[in-house]
Amino acid sequence: MEKTLIEIKDQAEAEFNQEHYHQAADLFVTVYQEEQSLAVNRQLVLALKEDQQYQLAKDYATDFLSDYAQHENLFLLYFDLLLQIQNFVSAQQWTLQSPNQALIEDLLAQIRGSERKAEDQQGQTLKTIAQHFYHLSDESMVAQQERYQQAFHLPVATFVTGAKFLLVDPFASPLMRSTLLSDLQELGETGGVTYQWLDQQRYQIDLQAILPLFSNQSFQKLVAALDDQVGQEDPIAYQALLDQLRLEAMLLFPRLEESILDATAWVDADLSAFYQEQAPEEEAKQKQAHDLVLQALSELAG
């Protein structure tokens, strides 16, 4: 006779209490497949953590990331997982979301300590990762993404140095440069940074002086225009165009205000292209920016 979900859950909790963490984790996975609640997620993540399956625990925790951000015990659990897998960049970005300044200072000190330990024990490996990151643009788009993800395991100061170098690397993709700008902003970098934009020109900006990408008013106006013009009349078109607008905004970052002068006209143009209709006219400066974005998207797709 098959066990009920409640019986499996009770057995998982019993195994956990007896410190049989591997068995507990396997049972909680079974429960979680049927009951994807925050409570079960937490139990599963804790069991995996105790079983030293840190990466898998972190992956499951991301299912309820907004909840983990709002509850201090879960916030600290997710932080600990990031530190265990030596994802120092994400650990600092996560830490800086806390409203508790004393907690931020404590967690940043923990990150610095873990970085020093990693440099002492894995110095050559970190040097290799840093070298690959700094020369990221030598590789294909797939390899670039792999090197970028590996770079999150670098000490934050090393990551920042590499990111600032890549911001002015003409061979780095525009999407990678804008992604790195957002990363630096989330790492709390202050002062001016120089970056190369879609038009191949270099600009300087203080990232803390502007809103994060998806909080930007220009992006929100694009979404509002899409809501007005498509809404739920064509859900497939809406989702496809929303994804496109997010990608376009990423490519434009941090020059959204200078590029999107009329959000309705911008969305009109994207809608016309989606439905393969005659594109409406855009203001010359906006059309120039829009053409640069579409060219970058074409290169990404190609």
Residues in the chain: 302
Angle, nearest 10°, between helix axes 21-34 and 38-50? 160
Which residue from 128, 135, 88, 78 is spatially nearest to 110, judged by alpha carbons?
Answer: 88
Note the pLDDT of residue 205. 93
Alpha carbons 3 and 9: distance in angstroms, whole number: 10
Note the pLDDT of residue 140. 84
Phi-psi region of 10 (alpha: psi -120 to 50; beta: other; left: phi over 0): alpha
- Report the half-sphere exposure of 276 (CA within 13 A, side-chain side): 0
Alpha carbons 197 and 167: distance in angstroms, whole number: 9
Q: Which residues of the chain have pLDDT under 70?
A: 1-2, 302
Which three-class secondary structure state does DSSP give residue 206? strand
Note the pLDDT of residue 1. 47
Cis peptide before 254 (omega within 30 of 0): yes
Note the pLDDT of residue 2. 65
